[in-house]
Amino acid sequence: MQMKEGDGRSRVAELCCISMRLTVLGKSPAWSDAGGACSGYLVTEGETALLLDCGNGVFGKLRERLDYRDVDAVVISHLHGDHVLDLVPFSYALTIGPGAAERTSKPRLIAPRGAGGFLRRLAGTWQDDDLIVEAFDLEEYEPSSEHSVESIGVRTRPVQHVGATQALDLTAPSGARIVFGSDGRYSEELIAAARGADLLIAEATLPDPDPAQEVHMSAEEAGRLAGEAGVGKLVLTHISDELDLERSRSIAARAFGGEVEIATQGATYVV
């Protein structure tokens, strides 16, 4: 079920009656939509708030909806710029923003193995190597791993993309599941990761299948994958506003045989 959001901020306390709720902060591919942001999704359950990915433009979108100091954890699917670059402004806010000196705890940063070195190199390009790793409580995970962020279970599942990439499987206390396929292309691994999910968020960068393309997938492939995985609903993401989005949605719906939507900034899904 999609719920429309009004303008302005909402607080974690207002979300207490919701089972598990995902709000799209950014859905662009590697290049931003006009006025949009790259990969970022706010997930809440009760008073728990976690951020899936933190691509360029996401931190400002997060601030429109939640005090960033109320985020319990950031979970990163893979270490590509369009999924991590706004960890930089997030880190500055945590370390030198208002009230930073009084903070007694850090949000968790749950990121793939090797993230510490990568993030130091990233921040080191302007001689501030430890900016991100000191702003957060960094936890590096193995490709297949299980975590708990307060009331939300998080499972990482390796999928096929460029470099180490994980689908993120989130489970609410009720047992309801949201699977974020990250940038994973059509594969048996992603089908297995998504199997039986109530909601699948899957990338659909390509307008049509391309046998020579081994990085991303098309809307048709995403729809076929959702059908084979037996998910409840499919939301297409990582898709440019320069494409014919209704065409992509229709193609995916025919391949899936179920309900399909295009991710839009501010759209909210509840399971």
Q: How far apart are CA 83 and CA 56, in angstroms?
A: 7
pLDDT in tens, the chain (271 residues): 444 444 444 444 444 445 899 999 999 999 999 999 999 999 999 999 999 999 999 999 999 999 999 999 999 999 999 999 999 999 999 999 998 988 889 999 999 999 999 999 999 999 999 999 999 999 999 999 999 999 999 999 999 898 889 999 999 999 999 999 999 999 999 999 999 999 999 999 999 988 877 789 999 999 999 999 999 999 999 999 999 999 999 999 999 999 999 999 999 999 9
The two tokens of residue 38 are 């790259």
Nearest CA to 83 out of 112, 114, 58, 66 is that of 58
* pLDDT for the residue numbered 12: 46
* pLDDT for the residue numbered 214: 75
DSSP string, 227-243: HHHT-SEEEEES--TTS
Nearest CA to 78 out of 181, 175, 182, 211 is that of 182
Q: Phi-psi region for residue 265, left (φ > 0), alpha (ψ -120 to 50) or beta? A: beta
Question: Taking the domains of the chain in order of start, what are their residue ranges?
Answer: 2-270
Is CATH 3.60.15.10 the right assignment for the domain spanning 2-270? yes
DSSP character at residue 210: -
* pLDDT for the residue numbered 16: 45
Q: What is the pTM of this model?
A: 0.91
Q: Which amino acid is residue 134, in one-letter code?
A: E
